Every structure is written in C-alpha cells, then in structure tokens.
Structure 1
Amino acid sequence: MNRGQIQAVRMGVTERREREKQNRREEILETARELFYSRGYEKTRMVDIAERLELSKGTVYLYFKSKEELAYEVLLAALDLMGALLLQVEESRGSERVLDRLRSIALGYVTFFQEHYREFHLVQVLEGALYERLNDPDRAPEFYGRLNRIRNLVTEAIRRGLDDGSLRGDLQPELSAATYMITVDGFMRQLVARSHFIRHTTGHSREALIEEIFRVLTYSLQGAGGGS
C-alpha cells in the first residue's frame, strides 16, 4: 500500500468516526426529546437518557456537559424546525397581500403546533425550565438569534404594509411585530393549556377560535388601503 492509499484509508476512518459521533449525538438528542416530553424536564435525569440508549452516563456527558446544555440544544432544534416552517410558508406566498402574508406566517405557527406538537410542547416546557439562562441574552445568544429571525419575517411584512398603505400608518414595525407574535404565541399556549375549559365555556371549536383570532388581529392592523 503506497502513501496515498494509506492517507485515503486514514481519511476514511476519520470520516467514519465523525459520522458515528454525529449519529450518537443525534440519538442522545432524540432520546432527550422523548423523555423531556413524556416525563418533563425535572423528572428526566442524564442517567435515564444513558440507560435508554444502553450507554454509560459518562458517555452522555462526553457529548453534553450538563442536562441544561442538552435541554438547550433540544430547545434550539425545536425553534429551528419552527423557523424553517414559517420561512417556507412566507417564501411560498411572497406575492400575497401583506395582510394575507401576515396571516400565512401565523398559520405556519399553527401548523407547527398541529404537525409537530411534541416540539411545540418542548418549547413551552424548556423555556420555563431554562428560564434563568434564557433571561440572560449573553448566556443564550443562539436562542435570541432564532427568535429574532422569526420576528424579522413579521417585521419586514409590516414595513411593506406601511409602504403600500395596507397597514395603519401609526404602527412601529419592530414593536408591532413583537406584539403580533406574542399574541399568536400566547393564544396558542392558552388554547393548549386550557383547551377543554375554553371549548366548553365558549361553545366554539379550536378551529373557529383560531380563525377568529386571525380576523381580529388583521382588523387591528389594517389601514385605509387594507384591500391592496
């Protein structure tokens, strides 16, 4: 075997080991998702994750230095999924009226809730569990970066609506975008947390309530040129 062949073999071994490490990391993340979802953050231990995968606890710690670090990565992955879904919806409907575009972005959030409920639930659970870390932007720059990318989709749509007159002229793009997303997010969380109570006290289906919140939000943003 010549020098080139030896080098090729070494590169192949290195690449295989990297793939194996990446696969193991993904297995740990997926198991953490399952246990955080089924048991909650507090009742899930690193040893539980290790035992589920038939690994030593030390092996899990080679990939993630703490349960908080592991949970943070799970949270970021869920936000990546949500952001990709919203971006896909926004890009596919770029030629729509601004109000329809805003509604589509919000409906993308609803789709995330309906089609990826586990990840939707994990965002709620882990934001609470990691509150101390997430409350400090210096300790969670990736988290804030993802939130900003999602909010920027709404901000840009509002700016466009101000330019073409379809939205109220007194709106402040950044503030209005934050308010819009907080309203949609809060509504969906309440709908999940109190779905049985809300259905029986209002007499309306979840679908009807979702449609109505979008109608109310759209009306609150609409300007004199709202039909454009």
Structure 2
Amino acid sequence: MALSSRKEREFQARRAEILKAAEQLFATKGFYETTMAEIAEAAEFGTGTLYKFFEDKRALYLATLEGKAEELFSFVRSEVSREQGSINKLCRLITTHLSFFEENQEFFKIYIRDRYHFEWNIKDELGEKVHVKYVSYISFVADVVKEGIRSGEIREVDPYELAHALTGMINAFIFQWVLKNDEKESLTAKSRTILCLFLNGAATKPQEGYQELCPK
C-alpha cells in the first residue's frame, strides 16, 4: 500500500513537471508551434516518457488549460474567503480574477490567439472540461451575491443571473485588455470600474420608465 502510494506521488510529481514545462512553451510559442520533443527537453524527460502521461500534444494542452482554470478558481475562492461582508468579497473576487490574468498574460494571450484555429473536437472537449469548473465557480459567486441579498446590500434579483452578469463583465474587460496588448495599462486597476458598474449600473441616477425600453 505504501509503495503504491509512493508511486502515485512520483507519478503526479512528474506529471506536474511536464505540465509546467508545457505551459511555459505554450505561452511562448503557442499550441501549433510547440512540439512534444521541445516539451520533453524542457521537462528533462525523454519524448517517449511524455506519452506515458499524455496521449498526444492535444491532451497535454487541454490538461494545461484545465489546470489553469482550476488554479484561477481555487485562487479566487481562497482570497475571497479572507474577507468579511459581501461587498468586500465581491471587490476581492474581481481584483483577484483580474490580477491572475495579468500575472499569466502571456499564456492567455496565446490561448486567445490560437483558439480560433482549433479543430472542433478540441473546442468541444475543452468546453466540457472547463464548463464543469465554470458552473462550480458561478455557484460560488452566486453564494456571495446571496449573502449580499440577505444583508440588504444587494437587490433581490436572481443571484445566478447576477453571478453570470458579473463574470461576463470581468471576462469582457479581460478580453478587451488582451486584444489591446498595452503592457502599460493595468488590468487589475479596472476592478473598481467593474465593481461600480455592477453595483450601481451605468446611470447617474435612478431611471423611471426604463422597463418599457426592454423586451419582456
């Protein structure tokens, strides 16, 4: 039993080394320009050894993205748990989410550039893997919103709709920042704008009769 446990730890440690090397190369060269031989050399393994852990480069890339998503969501949960009060938690959530992308910008820039060229089977498989984590993340954000509703700090609106709205705003700011590719502009500095828009909307004062403008 102890031997089996040790082998599993060794397996996971070697797998983590491969993923780390792959992430760095994918961030630098992209999916299509990176080879398994280059990843093996960077991880200091034989190329054949890589195939004991991953079926092919596609499987390795998907594992890298899935791991990055898990790293993001775990990081946000950990940081938010340190705060008291729903508004402070939302502020921390937004700031942490943005800072993670800013710190890993090279990796995500390459991903956004390459994803339009992926074959459909890669997109579908990636979508399924990340979607499961995303649903869990939305539930976490919704729980923070529910706390705000209970405390009277947030209006009584479907917390899951608000969670999707907030996450959508965050992702839109990230996507725009990546496309602009301006290293001098801080993404994390956008957190205040996102929080204010989410909590107060874009109107300078309460609007009357706006319901008539929106389709039912």
- AA of the residue aligned to 1:112: F
1:10-32 superposed Cα distances (whole Å, 9 cap, x missing partner): x54x5554443333212211111
Corresponding residue number in structure 2 for 1:5: none
Partner of residue 202, structure 1: none
Output the CA distance in 1 between the equivalents of 2:28 and 2:138: 30
Shift of 1:42: 1.2
Q: Which residue of 1 aligns with 2:42?
A: 52
Cα 1:123–1:40 change in 2 (3 A) is closer
Superposed, which structure 2 residues align to 1:74-153 within 5 Å?
74-93=64-83, 95-96=84-85, 98-118=86-106, 120-121=108-109, 124=112, 132-133=120-121, 136=124, 141-153=128-140
- Give the residue type in structure 2 aligned to 1:37: A
**Aligned-partner residue type, residue 57 of structure 1:** T
The runs of 5 or more residues in structure 1 that have no matched partner are: 1-7, 200-204
Determine if contact 2:72/2:100 at 8 Å carries over to the other structure: yes
Bigger Rg, which one: 1
Q: Which runs of 5+ in 2 are unaligned?
A: 207-216
SS of aligned partner of 2:201: helix
Question: Which structure exhibits the higher relative contact order, with contacts defined as CA atoms closer than 8 Å and separated by 6 or more residues?
Answer: 2
Equivalent residues, number: 203
Deviation, structure 1 residue 33: 0.5
Quick one: percent identity of the two aligned structures?
22
Q: Return the letter of the residue paired with 1:108.
A: T
User: Aligned ranges for residues 3-42 of structure 1 at < 5 Å?
Assistant: 12=3, 14-42=4-32
Distance 1:25 1:126 in 2: 24
Equivalent position amino acid for 2:172 in 1: G
What is the alpha-carbon root mean square deviation over aligned residues? 3.2
Q: TM-score, normalised by structure 2?
A: 0.76
Question: Which residue number in structure 2 is paired with residue 182 of structure 1?
Answer: 168
Question: Does 1:173 find its partner at 2:154?
Answer: no
Question: What is the CA–CA distance in structure 2 between the aligned matches of 1:109 and 1:194, rounded to whole Å?
Answer: 19
Letter in 1 for 2:165: T
Distance 1:45 1:219, change over 3 A: same
Out of 196, 209, 212, which is 1:215 matched to?
A: 196
TM-score by length of 1: 0.73
CA gap 1:64/1:206 in 2 versus in 1, 3 angstroms: closer
> How far apart are residue 124 of structure 1 and its match?
4.2
Q: Is the 8 A contact 1:36 1:122 kept in 2?
A: yes
Q: Aligned equivalents of 2:110 and 2:140: distance in 1?
A: 23
The question of whether the paired residues in 1 share the 8 Å contact of 2:36 and 2:57 is answered with yes
Shift of 1:57: 2.8
Matched to 1:168, the amino acid is R
CA distance in 1, matches of 2:122, 2:162: 22
Secondary structure of 1:166's counterpart equals coil
String of CA shifts for 1:182-221, please: whole Å, max 9, x gaps: 111120221232143996xxxxx65654422322222129
Cα distance change on mapping 1:141 and 1:213 into 2, 3 Å: closer
Offset at residue 116 of structure 1 (A): 4.1
